[in-house]
Amino acid sequence: MQVESVATLTTSDCYNTRRFSTHLLFNRSIHTVNQLNPRQREAAHYIDGPLLVLAGAGSGKTSVITQKIAYLIEKCGIKGNHIAAVTFTNKAAREMKERVSQLVSGPAARGLIVSTFHNLGLNILRKEHKSIGYKSGFSIFDQQDAQALIRDLLMQQHGSEDSSSDQADAVQQQISSWKNDMVNPDQAVAMATAPAGILCAQAYLRYQRALKAYNAFDFDDLIVVPVQIFQQFPEILAKWQRRIHYMLVDEYQDTNISQYLLVKLLIGDRGKLTVVGDDDQSIYAWRGARPENLAQLQNDYPNLKLVKLEQNYRSTARILKAANRVIDHNPHVFEKALWSELGYGDPIRVIRCRNEEIECERVVTEILDRRVRGHGQFSDYAVLYRGNHQSRLLELKFQSHQVPYQISGGTSFFARHEIKDIMAYLRLLINRADDNAFLRIVNVPRRKIGTSTLESLGNYATERDISLFDACSELGLEQSLSEASVTRLRQFTSWLDRISQRCESGDGMAAIREMVNDMDYQAWLHQNSSSDVVAERRMANVYTLVDSLQSTIDKDESEEDDIQSAVAKLVLRDLLDRQQEDDDAMDKVQLMTLHASKGLEFPHVYIIGMEEELLPHRASIEEDNIEEERRLCYVGITRAKRTLALTYCSKRKQYGEMIDCAASRFLDELPFDDLVWEGEEKDPQLNQQRGQETLSGLKGLFD
């Protein structure tokens, strides 16, 4: 039987319709829907217009989104390929997709878009790149690639090699901010008045020109350029609006201007939109997030429906009371108050320490003490902090006491600069059409091949519709570049061709080692590292990569010395190793910044460094931006499920000197009756008793 179009259905019609199959998975989805609380069910079933779900921490927003997707497919007859659910991280997208797959299956669910904003933008660019003059197979510059290009442009502009990474980083951040605010290079140049602003604007202009010549986009372009395409080409926008009949957006408070426009354009005036957000958890203003986008929805959609999710399924009532009390000091467009049925819970501990060494020692030994007494696993504990620098001393203490830990957001082996360089060489060896790899290493180490040369080369390659590598060998290149530039490019490609020929002759590993030696990469690392020790460590990573490549070939008895196959397997093995590392890390204390903790939860949470100028941060105090710091504190508090401890120091080392510290103002905002204040323990008898109990616990582990 033909299913009615969603445009003709109301919420009531959808709910009462019984025209669909009752297979096992669907029965499971109905069972789960029935487990939703009244507010969650209201949000999952409402389709009569645009909807804002104001979802507090731990209120089950992911369940609402996934259940709504199932409802749209199974009850409202919208096929999966006409639904887009968008969030900010790959992890969140994967979790959402997995949960949806447990609720719906079959042909109707095929083609469902569950992705990050940037992946959605990338999919649009893959379909529409020709409209703005880009070739297929365009490259995506990551942050490192983009910064390297900006650094080269600055060096060229100033006629020296004095441009620091800090300067390039500052320019990159400003360019990113302009892009997120939909400010193009010409507008930036027109707006700039101060010398620093003029420098950034000029760099922005040349940077975009270079990207176009390289047939490349950066990370911000994945959102900005689709918006520009939609604004310039109404027929393309209409095509994508026909593709996406309903859109769901998670973490809407974290959207910037370009992401907001992308959603608004795709939805148009149809109002087939559900956004989920929490203005109290907006902590990314530094990267362009605008919590005011939540309030803007009321202006864009006057018929906007608001549903509040205030029941928390994570934390005790005492923890939620503390979180509510702190965040109440911020102004609100939408009022809400989290509550819980999980009991009142243990008091919140506030621990004063003499200095940061005692603070870290206290946290580590206490976790060890509680663990050996049988209070959960190490993975039940998380230590949160405002800045990454606070983790250094923590790590030393965890290592000293042999307590397993994991720092969230550590750099993977394949994400290191030196590894990405060598892998780019390997990728180019096996694929001459890899323009991104070419651009990364054509001047690493330096071969006097500047950005102007590469821009001209890129434009020539685009006109001829060939790769950058192949363009270097064309006779017509002399018409676009100087003789010296052409000579340098051909010296590079000829050298790489010789390495490739050696690989193909059956002595691939010897050729790879020759390549590393010939380019004198070790000297390059010494020139571009903060110390000789760092340079040697980075070169050791390169040797590890080469050895791994050799090991991969040695273990493959079915093939000869096949470098192409080995490189592919090496990348795959890295992914598998990281998966294994994740598995092995299951019983480790988690260390992370407050920003990184968003979306996570732990039975026991420590927040260290609750001091003025640390939390709230000094920069935020000076800029009068305490509200975001308070939201950051709120996020930290609401990570805790059962117990919460907050520590601060009376003195802390800064620039080699001990300075006096003041307790964070946020401690004064907590409900006093729910706190237990602890100072430095000076009772030797109590310390001895704790030591004996800890020893007994350790012995029990091995009985």
pLDDT, tens digit, 9 for 90 and up, residues 220-273 = 999 999 999 999 999 999 999 999 999 999 989 889 999 999 999 999 888 899
Say how many Å lie between the first and final Cα of the chain, rounded: 66
Strand, coil or helix: what is 314?
coil
CA gap 392, 272 in Å, rounded: 48
Is the model's pLDDT at 548 over the cut of 80? no
Among the ranges given (10-14, 191-195, 512-516, 611-615), the one the predictor scored with the smallest mean pLDDT: 10-14
> 490 vs 99, 441, 449, 478, 494, CA distance in Å?
53, 14, 11, 11, 6
Phi (first) and psi of residue 51, to 5 degrees: -135, 135
70-84, 305-319, 507-521, 675-689: range with lowest mean pLDDT:
675-689
Assess contact for 648 and 679: CB atoms under 8 A.
no
Q: Considering the chain, what is the average pLDDT of its residues?
A: 82
Percent of residues in the chain assigned helix, strand, coil, to nearest 5: 60, 15, 30
281 has catalytic annotation = yes
pLDDT tier for residue 27 given thresholds of 50, 70 and 90: very low
Among 139-153, 261-275, 550-564, 671-685, top mean pLDDT goes to 261-275
Given 42, 218, 251, 562, the catalytic residue: 251
Give the pLDDT band of residue 564 (cuts 50, 70, 90): low
Query: Is the pLDDT confidence value at 412 over 60?
Result: no
Lowest mean per-residue pLDDT among 146-155, 347-356, 373-382: 146-155
Task: State the amino acid at position 554 in one-letter form.
Answer: D
pLDDT mean over 364-385 = 90
Output the pLDDT for position 524. Answer: 87
Active site residue 250: yes
| Residue 593 phi, psi dihedral angles, 5° rounding | -70, 160
The pLDDT tens digits for 676-703 are 998 854 444 544 554 455 445 544 444 4
Least confident of 128-142, 249-263, 590-604, 637-651: 128-142
Give the SS3 label for residue 340.
strand
251 in catalytic set:
yes
Query: Can you give the pLDDT at residue 679?
Result: 82
d(CA 410, CA 623): 30
pLDDT at 581: 46
Alpha-helix residue ranges (DSSP H) falling in 328-443: 356-372, 391-400, 417-430, 435-441
The β-bridge relationship of strands 657-660 and 651-654 is antiparallel
Q: Which two tokens stand for residue 122?
A: 């990338």
> Are 633 and 57 in contact, with CB atoms under 8 Å apart?
no
What is residue 350's predicted lDDT score, i.e. its pLDDT?
95
Report the C-alpha gap between 310 and 444 in whole angstroms: 54
Q: Choose the catalytic residue: 39, 40, 41, 61.
A: 61
User: What's the whole-model pTM score?
Assistant: 0.71
Could you tell me which residues are beta bridge partners of residue 385? 593
Residue 462 bears catalytic tag: no
Nearest-angstrom CA–CA distance, 406 and 286? 26
Give the chain's count of helices (H) and strands (E): 31, 19
Nearest to 267 by CA among 243, 291, 287, 290: 243
Compute the average pLDDT of residues 506-535.
Answer: 84
Single out the catalytic residue among 281, 552, 638, 647.
281
Quote the tokens at residue 499. 């390495």
Q: Which of 152, 250, 279, 434 is catalytic?
A: 250
Whether residue 591 has pLDDT greater than 50: yes
Q: Report whether pLDDT(15) > 70.
A: no
Catalytic residue among 440, 502, 538, 639: 639
Please identify which of the residues 62, 173, 296, 311 carries the catalytic annotation.
Answer: 62
Mean pLDDT value across residues 130-145: 84
Note if 2 is an active site residue.
no
Distance separating alpha carbons of residues 494 and 504, to the nearest angstrom: 15
Instruction: List the one residue out of 44, 638, 630, 49 whose CA is nearest residue 326.
Output: 630
CB atoms within 10 A of CB 610: 26
Residues 6 or more apart from 453 whose CB is under 8 A from it? 481, 485, 488, 489
Active site residue 135: no
User: Is the pLDDT reported for residue 327 higher than 90?
Assistant: yes
What is the rounded radius of gyration, in angstroms, for the C-alpha atoms of the chain? 28
